[in-house]
Amino acid sequence: MVKPRASVLRRWLGLVAILGCLSILRGVHAASETEVLVAAASDLVFVFPELKESFESGNPGIKVRGTFGASGTLANQIRSGAPFDVFLSADMELPGKIAESGQADAATLRPYAQGRLALWTASTNQAAPTSLADLLRPGIAHIAIAQPATAPYGRAANEALRQAGLLDSLTPRLVYGENIAQTAQFVESGAAEFGIVSASALRHPDRLRRGHQLVLPLDSHPPIIQGAVLTRRAEGRSEPRRFLEFLGSEKARGILSRGGLEPAPVDAAPTNRTGSPTVPEPR
């Protein structure tokens, strides 16, 4: 009877050892995973999941998590110490100001895309628009745009109306979303008959099939050059830098293009003395 008991004890101890090893391995794996926290403009809501999946598949052990909002709101959060590693703004100005304040590395500032404005109605009762002048039609009481004070797409929409000579006459009808995602929701819900939104906000299949949309000409408003920068929290870490580099890859540009964003103009990129886009090695 002693031998079977000893054998059982040995097997039990062996099982405990195996389980302990597995637990240690799980702990090592969890410790080896690094999370890159990204503050992203709301126009990236529908395209970001594919960017995340593509990057993570090519960089095992690195996880990316996005938080979305108006670029100005996100910039204020970073200034207040919010723990983001990468800031993807809908303009170049805000990440530049973050760098000037010392909350980001100015040497990493780079454009990653150019945004497009689109005029959209979710209602099939409205005729398809051919220009911004169609917003003067009778019966259009509410036109949604993003808040110009915090959202670059809102500023661009405001300027598009100004350039078209329509801003003064349409201002009483304007309703403001906190960001471009909320602006599109106003149109989607019927709270506004039309909206001037980002083309990327319309890439969701449900929105592509609803109502009518018109992508506005590039020369109808100031260019929407979208900029990325590494924050102070990313200093000395290779993982956020790898994500920033990924945004300039052919694969990422293809994803952004399918998501309604144009490639950033070459002359918009900060360059080093060799003329190559500047993304420094971590210090």
Angle between helices 48-58 and 250-258 (to 10 degrees): 160
Q: Range with the lowest mean pLDDT among 51-55, 140-144, 263-267?
A: 263-267
The pLDDT score that the predictor gives to residue 278 is 41
Does the pLDDT of residue 274 top 90, yes or no? Answer: no
Per-residue confidence at 235, pLDDT binned at 50, 70, 90?
very high
Q: Pairing state of beta strands 117-121 and 194-198?
A: antiparallel
Residue range(s) of every CATH 3.40.190.10 domain in the chain: 32-114+224-268, 117-215
In CATH, what class is 32-114+224-268? alpha beta
Concatenated DSSP letters of the chain: -HHHHHHHHHHHHHHHHHHHHHHHHHHHHHHH-EEEEEEEEGGGTTTHHHHHHHHHHHSTTEEEEEEEE-HHHHHHHHHTT---SEEE-SSSHHHHHHHHTTSB-GGG-EEEEEE-EEEEE--TTSPPPSSGGGGGSTT---EEEE-TTT-HHHHHHHHHHHHTT-HHHHGGGEEEESSHHHHHHHHHHTSSSEEEEEGGGG-SHHHHTSSEEEEPPGGGS--EEEEEEEBGGGTT-HHHHHHHHHHTSHHHHHHHHHTT-BPPPGGGS-B-TTSSB--PPP-
pLDDT at 169: 97
Say if residue 258's pLDDT is above 90: yes
Assign 206 a pLDDT band (cuts: 50, 70, 90). Answer: confident
The 10 Å Cβ neighbour count of residue 266 is 10
98-150 per-position pLDDT tens digit: 999 999 999 999 999 999 999 999 998 899 999 999 999 999 999 999 999 99
17-47 confidence digits (pLDDT tens): 444 434 433 433 333 359 999 999 999 999 9
Q: What percent of the chain has pLDDT over 90?
A: 78
Q: How far apart are CA 271 and CA 279, in angstroms?
A: 9
Closest of 84, 118, 126 to residue 231, by C-alpha: 84
The answer, yes or no, to whether residue 88 has pLDDT greater than 80, is yes
- The model's confidence at residue 265, banded by pLDDT at 50, 70 and 90, is confident
Residue 280 has pLDDT above 50, yes or no: no
List the structure tokens of 152: 């670059």
Question: Do 97 and 75 meet the contact criterion of CB atoms below 8 Å apart?
Answer: yes
Per-residue pLDDT band at 7 (split at 50, 70, 90): low
Amino acid at 96: G
Q: Which CATH number fits domain 117-215: 3.30.70.100, 3.30.1330.50, 3.40.190.10, 3.50.50.60?
A: 3.40.190.10
> Which residue bears the tokens 């952004």?
256
The angle, 0 to 180 degrees and rounded to 10, between the axes of the packed helices 93-100 and 71-79 is 10
Residue 248: pLDDT above 90? yes
pLDDT of residue 207: 83
Residue 208 banded pLDDT, cuts 50, 70, 90: confident
Q: 187 with 194: CB under 8 angstroms? A: yes
What is the number of alpha carbons within 13 Å of residue 112 lying toward its C-beta?
30
Each residue's pLDDT tens digit, 63-73: 999 999 999 99
